[in-house]
Structure 1
Amino acid sequence: MECSYHYKQQRQNKVILTVEDVMGHTGTIVLRGTCVAWFDQIRLKKNHIWEFRHLFAHRNSVSGDVELHTTPWSSYECLFDDDIRAIGFKNKYYQCIVLNAKQMDLSCLLQEKYCELKTDNNHVYEQCFPCLPFNQVKMFYRPALMTIKYKESTVRVHVPSDVLEKLFLNIPPSILNKLVLFTGNVTYGMVIADLCHSILADTGESYILKIRSHFVLDENSMQQEHDFYLLNIHLSL
C-alpha cells in the first residue's frame, strides 16, 4: 500500500509491504525515501526469498506490532534458488517444517480428528475448533456496502472484509476490545470508530477510490447485473 507523510515540511512517499516467513507469520516492512523504488522489483518477484539489511525496528503505536523500516543505509537483494544463501536458508527452515509435520494413514487421521466432533439435537455435527489450524478461529470484519456520490451520480460499492481491515489501519477485529498502548482507556475499537466518523462525516473532502467492476451480460450482450467492489481508497490531495 502506497501512502504519504510529511517530514521537515516536505511531502514524502512510503510503501507498506506485508511479508511472510516460512512459518506463515506475517510482518510489515515500510519502504521510505529512495527505498520506495524497490517496490516494483519486489512485486515482480514476491514469491522469492529476499534479504534485507540495516532495517530499523519500530513499534506501531496503534496496532502495537513491530514494523521494520528502511534507512538510508538499507539494502536489499533477491536470492535465487541456486544462491548458496537461499539453499542454506531452505535447508535450515524448510527442513524444520517437514520434521514438525505429523504423518499418519487416513484411518488414523479420521479417527483422531473426528472423534472430537459432537452433534446437536438434530444430529448435525457441531463446529470442531481443535480441527482448525493452530486451534484458533480467524475473525473477519463483516463486508459492508458503501454508497458513493459524485455530483449527480450515486453508486453502491461492496467493501470486502480484507479491504475493511486495510481501511482500519490493519487493526484485526480480534483486538477491538484491547487498550491501545500508552493511551490510558482508549481501545482499538474506539480508534476505528473515530476513523469511520472522519470518513463518513460531511466535511466536503474528496476521496479517490480504486474500484473493480463486475458485469453480467446475456447472450445479446445486454447488461443483466453489475456490481462494484472497493479495492482501495485515499484522500484526494
Structure 2
Amino acid sequence: MFAKLAAEFLGTALLMIFGNGAVANTELKGTKGHGTGWLNIAMGYGFGVMFPVLMFGPVSGAHINPAMTIGQAANGLFPWNEVPQYIAAQLLGAALGQLIVYITYLPYYKMETSPDAIFATFSTTEASNNKVVYFLNELFGTLILVLGALCMLKLDWGSKNLAAASIVVGFIVWGLVTSMGGSTGPGLNPARDLVPRFLHWILPIPNKGGSRWGEAWIPVVAPIIGAVIGAWIFNFCFQ
C-alpha cells in the first residue's frame, strides 16, 4: 500500500507540474513560452498523464484522479476500502505539484497583472461564465477520458502491451484538451482543480483576483459523475 500511495502522490504531482506548468509558461508575462498557445497547454496535460501512467501504472494503476478512483470503485473495478487513501495521496500530490509550479514561476506571477491569466495557472472556469456548460463539459470530458483509459489499459491488446496503451491514454487527454478544452480548460479531475484553487486562495499573489468558490463544486462533482458513467459503460459493454 505504501508503494501504491507513493505512486498516486508522485503521479498526481507530475500531472500538475506538466499540466499547470504548461499553462503558467503560456499565460504568464515574461516567460519564454508566453503566448505559445493552446497546443502547448494540451501537450503539457497529455504528457502529464502519459508519463505517470507509464511510470506508475504497474504499481497503483496510476489513477492520479479521484474521479477515476471513485468511478472504478462504484463499478466494482477497484476496492472501496482503498479509495480514501488513494484520494488523500492524490490531493496531497496535487498540492505539491502546484506549489512547485508556483515556486518556479514566482517572478512571473509577480509581473502578471491579469487575474484571469493567474487563475488559469491554478484552476478552471467556463469561458462564458455558463455553469450549465461548465458542468456538461466536465461531465462528458471525464466520461470519455475514463472510458477511453479503461478500454486502452484493460482490454486485450492494451493489457498485453501496457506501455503502448499508456501512451495512447496520454493522447486521449491531449485530444480532449484540444477538442473540448475551449470551454473550461478542461479539468476532468477534482484534485487538479480543487487543491490548486485552495492554493490560489491562500497564496500571496499580486493581482490574483477572486478564487471563484461559487463554482468550485462543478469541477469536483461533474467529473465524478462522468467517471462513474464512463466506468459503467466499460463494465457493462466490454468487461
What TM-score do you get using the length of structure 2 for normalisation?
Answer: 0.21
Structure in which a larger fraction of residues adopt helix = 2
What TM-score do you get using the length of structure 1 for normalisation?
Answer: 0.21
Structure in which a larger fraction of residues adopt strand = 1
Larger radius of gyration: 1
